[in-house]
Amino acid sequence: MPDDALLQRRHRLLGTQAPLFYERPLHLVRGEGVWVWDGDGRRYLDAYNNVPHVGHCHPHVVEALCAQAKTLNTSTRYLDEQILGYGEQLTATFDESLVRLALCCSGTEAIELALRIARACTGNDGVIVTDFCYHGNSSTVAALSTAFLGPEGIDPRVRTITVPEPYRLRDGVDPDEAAMAYAADVATAISSLAEAGLKPAAILFDTVFATEGVPTVPQGYVEKAVALVREAGGLYIADEVQPGFGRTGTGMWGYQLYDAVPDLVTLGKPMGNGHPLAGVVARAKLIDDFTQRAMYFNTFGGNPVACAVGRAVLEVIQREGLVENAGVVGAHLQEGLRTLGQKHAMIGEGRGHGLFVAVELVTDRASRAPATAEAKAVVNGMLERGVLISRTGRHDNVLKVRPPMPFGKEHADQLLAALDDTLAAL
């Protein structure tokens, strides 16, 4: 069926506003590893999708899925070995204080649960987030997802802070000093909550600040922000929905980039390689206190099929050395971006963590004016050159490169060549 006809059927079923990528919507029919194919048989290098974390349709994951789906799929209201085997393997990758697990179906559900736990256990209601973040789509979570606020607006119990973007500091300003000043804004947020009769239940961060544009946050910033919240009686929720499962290349979790252990960690997207699997890992006392007071049950969360899939994902990450690969190939990409930057003045900065790579495009290096329209053109130009990427950041001028984890140097080189060509053709 031609893409136009598909689009018309889609508009009748989902409405015209359901989000689609690209000016020319892409009709995908097959995926394998870092590759996807469209309806015309054209192959694309996937440098964007983080959900198929260990690669599209990874055979080990598909095999685990099918074997368990043929055997049993119930709920956590029965004793089951799958959740124990998986959960023990998963929690072993966290700090030794983070031993309890609650599984659910989506990142939104994980954030919902972490917030409910934080509010119930602290007795406080305030939440501090950044001023350009995204954490999910429920009414509570949408009302603190400051990058895409809905018709509800912002929750009156929420205060926002601005994350330091060293690239955008004025020349001569010391990034480390600036970062301390930015962190001090947490104290202002706490005061503002206090004026409304509120105290902080938590500070909630995506640990690579993905929606914020993946700024290179100086050491000490997160640590100070978290310390201020803790002094005021709040907890630290690390949102690992985007950074987690080894993408940073330096460890399994984004929070390990900083010297602060979270109280609650939220997991999602890459966890099941596309299977709806998400969860919260937390200190024992938090889960125990909350579940003493709330009947929390999630019908599909932690079912045997989801756990078999989650376990297979962990096994592939380990067997295929994907954390190390993210570090090596991420460094290779950054090096390539530096080289490209010598040729294309539009590249303001390449940065990121492992295989979470950001390329900030500017129309002028001196003023660092965001190249928003150009970034859009680059994303669409890369599609025409067979490479999938997207963009992010408050000016929508930061190319977002976040491929499946088996992305190799040869794939990085293909991406860099396509970017070179796209920028040259602008």
Residue span 221-260 as binding mask against a second copy, x where in contact by CB under 8 A, dash where not:
----------------------------------------
Give the DSSP H or E segment for 390.
Answer: strand 390-392
Among 23, 97, 150, 319, indicate the residue that binds a second copy (CB under 8 A).
150
Nearer to a second copy, 134 or 205 (CB): 134
Contacts of 391 (CB under 8 A, 6+ apart): 375, 376, 378, 379, 397, 398, 399, 400
Q: Which segment (164-172, 184-192, 273-281, 404-412) binds a second copy by CB under 8 A?
A: 273-281
Asked if 42 touches a second copy (CB under 8 A), the answer is no
Among 47, 49, 245, 246, indicate the residue that binds a second copy (CB under 8 A).
49
Among 157, 159, 247, 275, indicate the residue that binds a second copy (CB under 8 A).
275
Asked if 382 touches a second copy (CB under 8 A), the answer is no
Q: In angstroms, what is the minimal distance from the CB of 361 to a second copy?
A: 22
Give the DSSP H or E segment for 391.
Answer: strand 390-392
Asked if 350 touches a second copy (CB under 8 A), the answer is no
Nearer to a second copy, 112 or 165 (CB): 112
Question: Site size for a second copy, by CB under 8 A?
Answer: 99
Among 45, 115, 208, 355, indicate the residue that binds a second copy (CB under 8 A).
115
Among 16, 96, 197, 342, indicate the residue that binds a second copy (CB under 8 A).
16
Asked if 297 touches a second copy (CB under 8 A), the answer is yes
CA distances from 141 to 86, 89, 127, 187, 306 (A): 27, 29, 11, 23, 24
Give the DSSP H or E segment for 358.
Answer: strand 356-364
Q: In angstroms, what is the minimal distance from the CB of 270 to a second copy?
A: 10
Asked if 36 touches a second copy (CB under 8 A), the answer is yes
Name the phi and psi angles at 222, rounded to 5. Answer: -60, -45
Nearer to a second copy, 222 or 281 (CB): 281
CA distances from 58 to 118, 313, 321, 386 (A): 36, 9, 15, 21
Contacts of 95 (CB under 8 A, 6+ apart): 261
With contact defined as beta carbons under 8 Å apart, do 372 and 266 qualify? no
Asked if 35 touches a second copy (CB under 8 A), the answer is no
Asked if 106 touches a second copy (CB under 8 A), the answer is yes
Asked if 101 touches a second copy (CB under 8 A), the answer is yes
Nearer to a second copy, 30 or 319 (CB): 30
Nearer to a second copy, 272 or 370 (CB): 272
Asked if 295 touches a second copy (CB under 8 A), the answer is yes
Amino acid present at 80: D
CA distances from 105 to 73, 111, 120, 303 (A): 15, 11, 22, 10
